[in-house]
Amino acid sequence: MSIHSFEELAALHAIAKILAQPWELRDQLERVLNEMHARLGMERGMISLLDRDTGEAWLDVAHGVNLDGLEITYRMGEGITGKVAQTGRPMAIPNLGKEALFLDRTGARRFLNREELAFLCVPIMYDNRVVGILSADKGAGSVVDLDRELSMLTAVAELIAKAVHILALEEENRRLRRLINQGRSPSVDFIGHSKGMQEVFGLISHVSDSGTTVLILGETGTGKELVAQAIHVNSPHGKGPLIQVNCAAIPDTLMESELFGHEKGAFTGALRQRRGRFEEANNGTIFLDEVSELSAAAQAKLLRVLQEKQFQPLGSSRLVHTNARVVAATNRRLEECIAGGQFRSDLYYRLSVFPIYLPPLRERGNDIILLADHFVLKYSQELGKPVHRISTAVVEAFLAHPWPGNVRELENCIERAVLLAEADSIEIMHLPPSLQVKTRAGEKKDSGRLSSVVEAQERTLIVDALKETRGNQSQAARLLGTTKRIIQYKIQKLGIDPRKYREKGRGSNGPGQSVQEVA
């Protein structure tokens, strides 16, 4: 069991207070590094973020190191930082002057005597995987016990793990958007880190610069219009108009006129000539949402536009040329529509030159929480409410919900919850009835005999882990092979008081004595 001095516990307390403030994540982490310098004597503190797919670590936050104009990265296994990222194990170097693995890519120690410096580097773990690396120098003469120093740095890493995890996700999204926009300022705010969304970002980056017709597939509410906007903004047609047409909202009798225009007197009520949406989209992009709802006549004309880049307005013999790029979307399986005679197969093959599939929210894992946090921030600002977090019980409900309405349903849910919230957090009672009913049904089901046995077993395991770790929930979670958040949720649900086990571990230490770690 790790033992910390009063000064070290005071530093951990100060860091915990910093992380509880509603500041920007990068600002919080910079202040943490400053506290490490002021209270623990650690110089040149650095936090590197890890790309979980490539394994590359990039230096993102530092104290005592000038990062202006620098982009410093470490491949998996490269240098001490890359080695810690690869193994997930801390490293302590008592004498930097004798360490061949140390790279000093920042140049911060160029004019220092490295033999007078010790170097400490620990992994930042979140949800049982490495999300970042925390490192710092310390004067070799002031280091009495390297294991103790590593223990302290590891405790700091545990405190900042969630902030680093979220910052890494946000930064990877920004980097992906930079790839998509290829140097242009981003105009569409994507939020998503799941593998499915990263594949979508990659497909957008590949197709945007061309004039290729794109077919976006996905359930209602997955954000198909955002993909269309991203393709348009980052394409050669980006300076032209983006014309959006909801094919499901236009009656069949008006569809042909809406898309291709009409001449005066072409039909009863056509009192003047009207330009169609395709003509308005010339030199730009036309987005045909719910394209499967097009009438047979409109499908035939759309096929001709895609083949010949020209069309005839209703009631006219003149040909109108267009170079509008076509992006279509549907939430239906067009193969089934073809089999049922509702959609032309030749039009399908013209539209699906470059298909992009948007995964439903239930398949996007932690994206649900990232999106929820984003919407909480959005609506707390719009509605002037001091809500800035989501309770653990709500997180569990969100992760268990199938989200048939996808991102749109989640956004509506958060807007409602922020309106109802009276404190700074969203609780189960603030969720829509559809989520609350499932929660109550689950609670009723848990009253069964089998569930009672399972709960009793869970309680025993958690209490034993808390006894062994003297109330430390992070360590208890590691012992049980789960996350701290799950343990906190179970403790709350089962009515366990971890403070009872902390008190047993403190003993009767007097002033100036070391105490057991309880944070």
Distances in whole angstroms, Cα of residue 404 to Cα of each of 31, 115, 217, 382: 41, 61, 15, 26
User: Is residue 438 domain-shared with residue 457, that is, in the same domain?
Assistant: no
Cα–Cα distance between 390 and 399 in angstroms, integer?
12
Give per-residue pLDDT as tens, 412-427.
Answer: 999 999 999 988 889 8
Mark 451-468 as b/e (b = at least 16 C-beta within 10 Å).
Answer: eeeeeeeebeebbebbee
Residues whose CB is less than 8 angstroms from the CB of residue 224 and which lie 6 or more positions away in sequence, other chains included = 216, 218, 289, 329, 331, 358
User: Is residue 401 domain-shared with residue 474, that is, in the same domain?
Assistant: no
User: Is residue 94 domain-shared with residue 225, that is, in the same domain?
Assistant: no
Burial of 315 from C-beta contacts in 10 A (0-12 / 13-18 / 19+): middle
Burial of 223 from C-beta contacts in 10 A (0-12 / 13-18 / 19+): buried
CATH number at residue 241: 3.40.50.300
Lowest mean pLDDT among 126-130, 140-144, 372-376: 140-144
Q: Domain end: 177, 204, 237, which one?
A: 177
User: Is residue 329 domain-shared with residue 190, that is, in the same domain?
Assistant: yes
User: Is residue 112 domain-shared with residue 208, that is, in the same domain?
Assistant: no
* Band of residue 384 on the pLDDT scale cut at 50, 70, 90: very high
Q: Total domain count for the chain?
A: 4
Q: Domain end: 419, 445, 471, which one?
A: 445
Q: Domain end: 312, 335, 359, which one?
A: 359
Show the domain range for 95.
3-177
Distances in whole angstroms, Cα of residue 363 to Cα of each of 195, 215, 393: 10, 21, 20
Cα–Cα distance between 34 and 26 in angstroms, integer?
12
User: Is residue 249 domain-shared with residue 389, that is, in the same domain?
Assistant: no
Going by C-alpha positions, the residue among 435, 367, 372 that lies closest to residue 200 is 367
Are the CB atoms for 244 and 287 separated by under 8 Å?
A: yes
Torsion angle in degrees (nearest 10) through CA of 263, 267, 270, 276: -50
Residues whose CB is less than 8 angstroms from the CB of residue 461 and which lie 6 or more positions away in sequence, other chains included = 480
User: Is residue 274 domain-shared with residue 262, that is, in the same domain?
Assistant: yes
Give per-residue pLDDT as tens, 149-195.
Answer: 899 999 999 999 988 988 887 776 665 555 444 433 333 467 777 77
User: Is residue 186 domain-shared with residue 161, that is, in the same domain?
Assistant: no
CATH number at residue 464: 1.10.10
User: Is residue 400 domain-shared with residue 510, that is, in the same domain?
Assistant: no
Q: What is the pLDDT, as a whole number, of residue 4?
A: 66
User: Is residue 435 domain-shared with residue 478, that is, in the same domain?
Assistant: no
Instruction: Please give the average per-residue pLDDT across 193-208, as a whole number.
Output: 84
Q: Where are the alpha helices (DSSP H) in 384-430?
A: 392-400, 406-420
User: Is residue 248 domain-shared with residue 120, that is, in the same domain?
Assistant: no
Q: How far apart are the first and last CA of the chain?
A: 13
Q: Where are the alpha helices (DSSP H) in 182-223?
A: 195-207
**Over the Cα atoms of the chain, what is R_g?**
29
User: Is residue 159 domain-shared with residue 191, that is, in the same domain?
Assistant: no
Does pLDDT of 438 surpass 60?
A: no
Does pLDDT of 90 surpass 90?
A: yes
